[in-house]
Amino acid sequence: MNVAIIGKGLIGGSLEKAALRAKYDVEIFKGRGPIPDLSRFNYVFLAVPPLAVEGLVRAIANAGNLREGAVVMDISGVKGSICRALADFESVKGWTFIGAHPMAGKEKVGYENSCANLFDGASMILTPFKSTDPSIIKAASEFLRTLGFDKIVVTDTEDHDKMIAYTSQLCHLISSAYVREELSARHNGYSAGSFRDMVRVGAPEPDTWTELFFENKDSLLPILDRYIDRLTRFRDALVLDKRDILHSDLEEGVEAKKKIDEEKELK
């Protein structure tokens, strides 16, 4: 199996190292510059920012050097805008484009922080076009498992973007707001696990995450609004001394957390 990665950051570097660990023939290229010769690769990962994906896919297609049966995967954190922009590649002949998103990462970015085990036990989300041959998706899923992925989720772009807005992007926004509280500078001696959990993703890389937030704002805004509404309800209960409302909302949170924990135990 021959694997190419275009984009030499945390995710691209970790894909390279995971593929090398699996004993594949691997080559990694920088995300900028001329299109490399991709004629010998079975899988080509595009580990570049969302706004660069469309141009890169079109440049690869125009270069005309993909091997028969090759699979090209974009692995950026949004899928709707990219797959809509590349809709004309749904029926491309000879090779297949699949949107993908590895659910793994670190607080520190860059190739120097990449590692072979980043994807061990993680899930990979695939958003293929509706007409993509199921056998290609199945083969790609089996290949991805050899890189360490434990769960392969196949869905559409709308579902992906909505769920990622909640499970990832909202968390980064909340944490970023939390760490900017003036009291954070005095946390030492006053903080424990709760503080560590809240600040863990509080420093998202601004260039990358600004792009991700804006590319997915149609999915992110409704979820952010609902979160703000729940915080406002807490605040109003305190201001108006409505202990019953605060208690009731906290009870709802306990039940919601219990459902999450039960689902985890079942798995």
Domains of the chain: which residue ranges? 2-155, 160-266
Q: What is the pLDDT of residues 54-74, one digit of tens each?
A: 999 999 999 999 999 999 999
- Looking at residue 248, what is its pLDDT? 97
- Looking at residue 44, what is its pLDDT? 98
- Looking at residue 58, what is its pLDDT? 96
Query: Closest by alpha carbon to 69, among 49, 35, 48, 92?
Result: 92
With 60 as the cut, is the pLDDT of residue 267 above it?
no
Sequence-separated (6 or more) residues with CB below 8 Å from residue 91:
131
With 70 as the cut, is the pLDDT of residue 266 above it?
no
Residue 265: pLDDT band by 50, 70, 90 thresholds? low
Q: Mean of the per-residue pLDDT values for the chain?
A: 95
pTM, two decimal places:
0.91
CATH value of 2-155 in 3.40.830.10, 3.40.630.30, 3.40.50.720, 1.20.930.40: 3.40.50.720
Identical fold, 2-155 and 160-266: no
Q: What is the pLDDT of residues 158-186, one digit of tens each?
A: 999 999 999 999 999 999 999 999 999 99
Least confident of 39-48, 87-96, 103-112: 103-112
Average pLDDT, integer, range 81-94: 94
| 160-266: in CATH 1.10.3660.10 | yes
